[in-house]
Structure 1
Amino acid sequence: MKVGVIGLGSMGMGAALSLLHAGHDVTGCDMREAARAEFAAAGGGVADRADALPQGIEALVVLVVNAAQTEAALFGPGGAVDRLAPGAVIVSSATMGPDAARALAERARERQLLFLDAPVSGGAVKARAGEMTVMASGSAAAFNAAAPVLDAVAAKVWNLGEEPGIGATVKVVHQLLAGVHIAVAAEAMALGIRAGADPRQLYDVVTSAAGNSWMFENRMARVLDGDDAPRSAVDIFVKDLGLVADMARGLDFPVPIAATAQQLFTAARAMGQGGKDDGFVIRVWQAMTGIKLPGE
């Protein structure tokens, strides 16, 4: 299958490599020369602009940061839409609000293209293993057209219904939990350090007991190692918890815990930590209390 992947970041690169390993004809698109070079070295085709993708793309995976970037990549000046084959499927995997997903789906329909609202989860490691979780909604035709792509990139594909926007809704709710879990994991670790507990022993106790969460286990392991290289950055949760707030506001639904978590990530960004791994939101507590973090 002739596939394009726009966005060779931590998740997009993994998806593109998984598609390549599955035998598809894959062209990866990214403005960053280093990302293009990595994918080219693996045997994939590359493009530095969306409108430089090969003609006749049958499936286009868009794994950029947000709705605005997705719209620009598809329909903006220099967008990819004219490079798609008639009846091609767009697999829209950026995290965005449901209204934005529905609007993009309508624009695709007007161009007689199929559209799958298909945000993803799993992180860079799962993406490179072809084991992402996909939360998708769209027509049966869109699912059928995207099936070879989904088979290559995902361990689990959730079919959430025929209406675009449902996939985006579920991803926003997921990000509420993910962001809150990271923030509270950092708070717990910081409190333990301030109280004099050995952080590695604290980590071992929590990860063997009922208070554990996947986010505590994953993110606090990096904190213990002093490894703040971004797999998922603080800035992502400033954005995604903002989407939670926007969706909740439209429903007259209070989300006080998510709002508090967003403020903590915003504080970390204000401290210059926006590009660091999201578990290093713990530096907010470090700044307030003067604790020393492991590895620093």
Structure 2
Amino acid sequence: MKIGVIGLGSMGMGAAQSALRAGLDVTGVDTRDVARDAFVAAGGQAVASAAQLPQGINALVVLVVNAAQTEAALFGPEGALPRLAPGAVVISSATMGPEDARRIAARLEEAGMLALDAPVSGGAAKAATGEMTVMASGTAAAFDAAAPVLGAIATKVWRLGDAPGIGATVKVVHQLLAGVHIAVAAEAMALGIRAGADPQQLYDVVTSAAGNSWMFENRMARVLAADDAPRSAVDIFVKDLGLVAEMAKGLDFPVPLAAQAQQLFTAAHAMGQGQKDDGFVIRVWQAMTGIKLPGES
């Protein structure tokens, strides 16, 4: 089974390597030399554009940033569509709005391909170990065709319905929660620091009590370690909370907490922190109040 993975970033690299370990014939696609070299070093094949994929790809995972990049990767002048075998399955895993997911799926189906609307969660660590969560919708035929790949890259595959767009909807709602949780985790830690609490002790108390969340425990550990290397960058939540706002607007549905969180991530981006780890949205409070973060002079 010939597999293509477009986008060898923090999630795509893990997915590609997990598929490789499962014995699949995997070719990765990335414009960056360093990403291609890393995948080749892991035993895979890598090319610089989707148009260079081997002919007859049976399953294609698209793990790029957004809908526009997904469409370019599939249908653009250097797109993958001509390299796909008849009836191949495309596993579209970028975070995007449901209307975009439906439009892309319709174009694939018109071309005779199977489409799975399949955004993912779990971060770089879960991707690297083949333990992602997949929130997918599509036909039974698409799920069947994608099964070898999904089995290699994920430990939980949610089958959310037979219509593309449902997976994207669930992922957007998930990102609302994730973004708000990160922002409020940073706010709580910043408030504690400003009030004179020891950051490590504050962390230990919260993570052992009812106020804890997975995002507080995960992201504030990085703040304590002064480790702002991006596993998931601030700019991801500028984008994804924008998708929340867009979906909510179409439904005449208020999302005030998501809107406030997006403004905080946008402020961090404006401060030059867009490519830092998303927990370092805490630097917005640092800029406003002058607090000293752990490990920073």
Q: TM-score range by the shorter chain?
A: over 0.9
Gaps of 5+ in 2: none
Q: Distance in 2 between matches of 1:50 and 1:259?
A: 36
Matched residues in 2 for 1:95 and 1:217: separation?
24
C-alpha separation between the residues in 1 aligned to 2:88 and 2:279?
39
Deviations along 1:241-293, one digit per CA (max 9) or x if unpaired, are 00000000000000000000000000000000000000000000000000000
Shift of 1:81: 0.4
Name the SS of the counterpart of 2:216 in structure 1.
Answer: helix
How far apart in 2 are the matches of 1:148 and 1:73? 22
- Cα deviation for residue 106 of structure 1 reads 0.4
Q: Which residue of 2 aligns with 1:138?
A: 138
Question: What corresponds to 2:188 in structure 1?
Answer: 188
| Identity %, equivalent residues | 81
- Corresponding position of 1:163: 163
- Match of 2:223, SS? helix
Which amino acid in structure 1 is aligned with residue 54 of structure 2? Answer: P
Q: Match of 2:262?
A: 262
CA RMSD of aligned residues (A): 0.3
1:125-173, CA deviations, whole angstroms, 9 ceiling, x for partnerless residues? 1001000000000000000000000000001000000000000000000
Q: What code does the residue aligned with 1:140 have?
A: A
| Residue matched to 1:33 | 33
CA distance in 2, matches of 1:137, 1:173: 15
Give distance in 2, aligned partners of 1:222 and 1:171: 24
Q: 2:138 aligns to what SS in structure 1?
A: coil
**SS of equivalent to 2:287:** helix
Within 5 A, what are the aligned runs for 1:1-296? 1-296=1-296
Distance between the aligned counterparts of 2:168 and 2:105, measured in 1? Answer: 12
Alignment partners' CA distance in 2, 1:203 and 1:105: 44
| Structure 1 Cα separation of the partners of residues 210 and 77 of structure 2 | 52
> 1-side partners of 2:91 and 2:214: how far apart?
27
Residue 55 of structure 1, CA deviation: 0.4
Alignment partners' CA distance in 2, 1:92 and 1:261:
27
Distance 2:214 2:53 in 1: 38
Which amino acid letter does the alignment assign opposite residue 230 of structure 1?
P
Q: Under a length normalisation based on structure 2, what TM-score does the superposition of the two structures give?
A: 0.99
Letter in 2 for 1:149: V
1:185-209 alpha-carbon deviations (Å, 9 max, x no partner): 0000000000000000000000000
Offset from partner CA, 1:202-244 (integer Å, 9 cap, x none): 0000000000000000000000000000000000000000000
Amino acid in structure 2 at the alignment position of 1:242: G
Cα separation, 1, equivalents of 2:118 and 2:273: 29
Secondary structure of the residue aligned to 1:137 is strand
Query: Aligned AA for 2:291?
Result: I
Say how many residue pairs are matched. 296
Q: Secondary structure at the match of 1:252?
A: coil
Please give the per-residue CA displacement for 1:62-99, whole angstroms capped at 9, x wherever unaligned: 00000000000000111000000000000000000000
Match of 1:191, as an amino acid? L
* TM-score, reference length from structure 1: 1.00
Q: Kindly report structure 1 stretches of 4+ aligned residues shifted beyond 4 Å.
A: none
Distance 2:129 2:40 in 1: 18
